[in-house]
């Protein structure tokens, strides 16, 4: 089964990911890349109930399976130094975020490898053993992508973003069928 394909919005992972299109068609990706991106780069709720920064995804409250949560805790490593302990924490956080692949029978095993290829940079390699074979997904400089400080967005900014998305949807809808008027 394929997921919608995601691509990096730019060379800088700070810009996030976006849906991939070919002309006006959404592209599908038969790999697990989209699932891995969502699992690693969504902020999982902080287990420390006393913390002021809980983050997390609101949809977790609707889960019918106890303890089933989306995302990773990689964001908690934001202020850590480059040590072997941080590499272990990053690997464990990634493997925990991707454990659902094994639990749901999508993969036989998942292994994360974290490295510091240069000062101030954390890379992750994800090795997934599927029934159909091995899949390797690499992310460079994840600290830039997933560990940036949380920024509150004003309601006006959210409204402007919703208006932009609505205009984009209307354009795409009309492009697919020029006879439709909105």
157 with 174, same domain?
yes
Is residue 104 in some structural domain? yes
Domain encompassing residue 137: 31-151
Could you give the percent of the chain with pLDDT greater than 70?
73
- Show the tokens assigned to 27: 């592209």
| pTM: predicted TM-score of the whole model, two decimal places | 0.69
Q: Find the mean pLDDT for residues 51-73.
A: 78
**84-95: per-residue pLDDT in tens?**
999 999 999 999
Q: Which pLDDT score is estimated for 66?
A: 78
Asked if pLDDT for residue 146 goes beyond 90, the answer is: no
Q: Which pLDDT score is estimated for 152?
A: 46
Compute CA distances 166 → 7, 73, 90, 169, 177, whole Å: 21, 32, 37, 5, 17
Q: Which pLDDT score is estimated for 57?
A: 75
Backbone phi, psi, residue 85, to 5°: -60, -40
Backbone phi, psi, residue 134, to 5°: -90, 140
Of 141, 107, 110, nearest to 124 by C-alpha is: 141
Is residue 17 in some structural domain? no
Q: Which CATH number does the domain housing residue 40 bear?
A: 3.10.450
Asked if pLDDT for residue 18 goes beyond 90, the answer is: no
39 with 129, same domain?
yes
Q: Are strands 121-130 and 109-118 parallel, antiparallel or unpaired?
A: antiparallel
């Amino acid at each position: 089964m394929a997921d919608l394909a995601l691509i990096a919005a730019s060379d800088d992972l700070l810009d996030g990911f976006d849906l991939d299109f070919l002309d006006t068609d959404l592209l599908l990706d038969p790999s697990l890349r989209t699932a891995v991106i969502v699992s690693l780069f969504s902020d999982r709720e902080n287990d420390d109930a006393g913390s002021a920064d809980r983050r997390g995804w609101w949809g977790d409250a609707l889960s019918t399976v106890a303890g089933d949560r989306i995302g990773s805790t990689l964001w908690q490593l934001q202020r850590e130094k480059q040590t072997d302990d941080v590499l272990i924490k990053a690997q464990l956080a990634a493997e925990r975020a991707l454990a659902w692949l094994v639990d749901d029978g999508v993969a036989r095993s998942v292994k994360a490898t974290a490295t510091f290829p240069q000062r101030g940079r954390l890379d992750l390699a994800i090795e997934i053993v599927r029934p159909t074979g091995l899949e390797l997904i690499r992310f460079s400089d994840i600290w830039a992508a997933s560990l940036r400080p949380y920024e509150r967005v004003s309601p006006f900014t959210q409204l402007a973003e919703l208006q932009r998305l609505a205009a984009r949807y209307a354009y795409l809808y009309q492009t697919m069928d020029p006879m439709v008027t909105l």
